[in-house]
Amino acid sequence: MRPSTNPAGPGRPQRLADTYRELFRAEPLLVRSPGRVNLIGEHTDYNEGFVLPAAVDKAIYFAVGPRPGSKVALHAADLEQSHEFDLAGLAPSDKRWPNYLIGVVDQLRKGGHPIGGFACVYGGDIPIGSGMSSSAAIEAGLAFSLNRIFGLGLDPLALVKLAQKAENEFVGVRCGIMDMFINIFGRPKSVLKLDCRSLDYQYFPFERADLRIVLCDTQVKRELASSEYNVRRGQCEAGVKLLSKYDPALRSLRDVSRELLEAHRAEFDPVIFRRCDYVVRENRRVEDACADLKSGDFAAFGRRMNGSHDGLRDDYEVSCRELDVLVDAAQAVPGVLGARMMGAGFGGCTINLVEEKAVGTLEESAARAFRAAFGQEPKFYISSLKSGTEVLSP
């Protein structure tokens, strides 16, 4: 069986620090910026609803330090590529990877925060396109690091918002706030329930010795993910517009009840109706899932994850065959409490809540089904829940 462990090992941040020392002849600040999982609450964040993510062991690491002058030197260790630019002339790069970092610098400059030249070596083990938010880890991790090295005094929530704006404006994906929020606010062994309107949050311990969070990675990444993402946002907005005729106080799908939606069903384009119906139900599922956690009922929690997948596949239509095959195979394994696609969709990972003794069977069945359907191997990662972005040294 394939190993389910983290292949990077603890040596990676030290290797990045060594590369920094070799390239820039100085001692860096070393920062760890985690990926995330989301237990339930998908496509609800930009509808001002609820999400339940957690920061995980897979991470991007930064070795960063100031440099005299106004030049910025970036080095992507995993790609073995470098990029340099001057703070005076920020422009998107054709190489694409620098844009996640330049976007952060752009936001700091626009906010009038005094940063100078700097050098940055980064790399990590969050699989790109896996739906574990490597982009948020890069953006929020750099914002956190620059805040430190230039003593900008930005509070954690300001870093979250700045990183989100960098993605919205420079990368061009209208992502919600979930990924950056959990990146900064994650806590070990806990999931975080976030109210994406008020930004109130609450931690729930999420640990039981006999349960594991297993991710199955389709390794499919489709460009559709970002174009369809923006389409879904537009469809949600269309639903809000229609319903706000009846309730002018209504601002987002967060404010919509199933009763209101049903009462006006006939006025909806059927596709828009299904999109809105999914979001309204998913918000409810997050609340119910948190009640399950309070009462320690992980079996009920898992069933809500299954319900979430049904809605994402049939009504929100952001799943794909690869994800569905993995979810179907997982849900058929005794000891798998819940399985669903995770993140924006159209590829990436499924998330599975699994009894430890069933992990091997899950991996075997999911791999068998995936091989039969696509002639390829999925990957598996067992996630442990870790803290949000933090300084490793000095």
User: What residues act catalytically?
Assistant: 179
| Least distance CB 43 / ligand GLA (angstroms) | 5
**Closest separation in Å from C-beta 362 to ligand GLA:** 23
Cis, bond preceding 394 (omega within 30 deg of 0): yes
Cβ contact 349:342 at 8 Å: yes
Q: Look-up: residue for tokens 């990436």?
A: 348
Q: Is 77 helix (H, G, I), strand (E, B) or coil?
A: coil
**The binder of ligand GLA chosen from 16, 30, 37, 43 (CB under 6 A):** 43
Is there binding between residue 178 and ligand GLA (CB under 6 A)? yes
**176 part of the interface to ligand GLA, by CB under 6 A:** yes
Write down the least CB distance from residue 343 to ligand GLA, Å: 4
Site for ligand GLA in 342-361 (CB under 6 A): 343-344
Q: Which of 179, 292, 315, 322 binds ligand GLA (CB under 6 A)?
A: 179
Angle at 324 between CA 313 and CA 329, to 5 degrees: 135
Of the pair 179, 277, the CB lying nearest ligand GLA is at: 179
Count, residues near ligand GLA per rule CB under 6 A: 11
Q: Shortest approach of ligand GLA to residue 45 CB, angstroms? A: 5
Q: Min. distance of Cβ 236 from ligand GLA in angstroms?
A: 11
Is 381 within 8 Å of 37 (Cβ atoms)? Answer: no
Q: Give the phi and the psi of residue 297 in degrees, each rounded to 5.
A: -95, 85
Residues in contact with ligand GLA, shown as a per-residue x/- string from 97 to 136 under the rule CB under 6 A: ------------------------------------x---
Within a 10 A sphere around the Cβ of 60, how many other Cβ atoms? 31
Beta bridge partners of 74: 83, 120
Q: Rounded to a whole number, what is the distance in angstroms from the first to the last CA of the chain?
A: 39
Of 67, 127, 122, the C-alpha closest to 100 is 122
Among 46, 144, 185, 381, binds ligand GLA (CB under 6 A): 46
The only residue of 32, 42, 97, 252 in contact with ligand GLA, by rule CB under 6 A: 42
274: left (phi over 0), alpha (psi -120 to 50) or beta: alpha
Cite the DSSP H helix spans in the chain: 11-24, 97-110, 134-149, 156-166, 178-185, 224-244, 258-263, 270-294, 298-314, 321-331, 359-374
Residue 341 C-beta: closest distance to ligand GLA, Å: 10
x-or-dash string of contact with ligand GLA, 291-330, rule CB under 6 A: ----------------------------------------
Site for ligand GLA in 133-152 (CB under 6 A): 133
Among residues 40, 77, 162, 175, the one that binds ligand GLA under rule CB under 6 A: 175
